[in-house]
């Protein structure tokens, strides 16, 4: 698994959903953000915190501040969606500009450069 940054949301989202599903935490990011009536308060809060912790663990420090104060897993998930899933012309133009200006630094690590390229493309 890799950390979410400003450019890789489209692939990070699906991998994060898979991870949450495998740990039986997916229900908290789907549907309503309120605690279900049939759930015990303490159990729901514990599951909510586990979900928040798992998601935050896979968010890069450069964007962590956007979700640092969220206390509800669904609200955190929705905030990430609103911030990074937008398909606006400005967002696309920003990514094209970033791709055009991406340069390999002589003596640099080619794997890091290719990873940066792939993050922008994705």
Give residue 60's pLDDT: 96
CA 74 to CA 84: how far, in whole Å? Answer: 15
Tokens 């905030």 belong to which residue? 79
Q: In whole angstroms, what is the distance from residue 113 CA to residue 72 CA?
A: 36
Q: What is the pLDDT of residue 120?
A: 76
Residue 14 has pLDDT above 80, yes or no: yes
Contact between 113 and 104 under an 8 Å Cβ cutoff? The reply is yes
| Distance of alpha carbon 47 from alpha carbon 101, whole angstroms | 43
Tracing tokens 């692939």 back to the chain, one arrives at 11
Task: Give pLDDT, residue 121.
Answer: 75
- Whether pTM exceeds 0.75: no
């Amino acid at each position: 698994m890799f950390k979410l940054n400003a450019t890789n949301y489209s692939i990070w989202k699906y991998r994060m959903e898979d991870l949450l599903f495998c740990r039986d935490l997916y229900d908290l990011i789907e549907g309503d953000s309120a605690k279900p009536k049939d759930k015990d308060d303490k159990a729901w809060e514990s599951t909510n915190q586990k979900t928040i912790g798992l998601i935050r663990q896979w968010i890069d420090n450069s964007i962590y501040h956007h979700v640092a104060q969220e206390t509800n897993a669904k609200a955190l998930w929705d905030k990430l969606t609103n911030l990074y899933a937008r398909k606006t012309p400005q967002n696309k133009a920003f990514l094209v500009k970033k791709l055009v200006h991406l340069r390999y630094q002589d003596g640099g690590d080619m794997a890091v450069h290719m990873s940066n390229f792939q993050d922008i493309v994705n």
